[in-house]
Amino acid sequence: MASFLPNLDPGPDTSPEFKRKKRRKTDQTPSSFDRNQATQRIKRWRTEREQQIYSTKLIEALRRSRSRTSSSSSSSAPGKQVRETADRVLAFSARGTTRWSRAILAARLGGGATLLRKHKKAKVAANRRLRKPEMINREKRKLPAVERKLKTLGRLVPGCRKLSFSNILEETSDYIAALEMQVRAMTALTELLAGGSVQPPADRLASNVNS
């Protein structure tokens, strides 16, 4: 009779400890579907259509920004306005699918949060000045070289300070591809405007995408 009873001891593949380890590994490792999505996003930034869409939206945003500036008493630098507008349009073009795009839009909308972050940075800088340089250098030497480079990379890409190694590489690859498209589009616009064209045609905007 006892031979017909099922074995109540959990197997190695069904034990709670195994399930926890598997769940933790799954959460940390990106799936093949996520990697395919990241690859498709990078390819999208290199298409003529995406450059045309970005160029058209950038021209419209710059015109609106110029009209608002002329009607208000704002005295900010024109170069800074163009750069902020170009980055904001680039973030909108990403359609909220990346952390860096959401971070750019959130920084634009949250002025109070930006001031709070500046205050915290100033406070941290003041605390660092009170610490001895030997202590700071000792703490830097404790971090491995790869981890130091990863922290630096996380500071360069918006919204990527606390990501895992694989996720920050995906975000960085997408961000670099988007910036390359932005440079191509703005270079084409500059050349057309320098030639006296007020409203550049879409086919000429994308002429540099394969150059």
- Report domain extents, the chain: 44-201
For residues 102 and 96, give the distance between their C-alpha atoms in angstroms, rounded to a whole number: 6
Task: Give exposure, 156-177, as e/b (b: 16+ Cβ within 10 Å).
Answer: ebbbbeebeeebbbbbbebbeb
DSSP string for 106-163: HHHH-HHHHHHHHHHHHHHHHHHHHS-HHHHHHHHHHS-HHHHHHHHHHHHSTT-TT-
Mind listing the pLDDT tens digit for each residue in 2-52?
454 445 455 555 566 655 655 555 444 556 667 788 888 899 999 999 999
144 CB neighbour count, 10 Å cutoff = 9
Question: Which residues have CB under 8 Å from 159's CB, separation 6+?
Answer: 99, 100, 102, 103, 104, 106, 171
Mind listing the pLDDT tens digit for each residue in 133-153?
655 566 556 668 888 888 889
Question: Which residues have CB under 8 Å from 206's CB, separation 6+?
Answer: 48, 49, 51, 52, 55, 188
List the helix and strand counts (H, then E) for the chain: 10, 0
- What is the rounded average pLDDT of the residues 73-91? 83
- Residue 4 carries which DSSP code? G
Q: What is the pLDDT, as a whole number, of residue 33? A: 64
For residues 143 and 137, give the distance between their C-alpha atoms in angstroms, rounded to a whole number: 10
Q: What percent of the chain has pLDDT over 90?
A: 33
Q: What is the pLDDT, as a whole number, of residue 179? A: 97
* Residues 209 and 46: beta-carbon distance below 8 Å: yes
The residue ranking higher by pLDDT, 161 or 211, is: 161
Write down the residue that tokens 């990379």 correspond to: 153
For residues 31 and 40, give the distance between their C-alpha atoms in angstroms, rounded to a whole number: 14
Q: What percent of the chain has pLDDT over 70?
A: 57
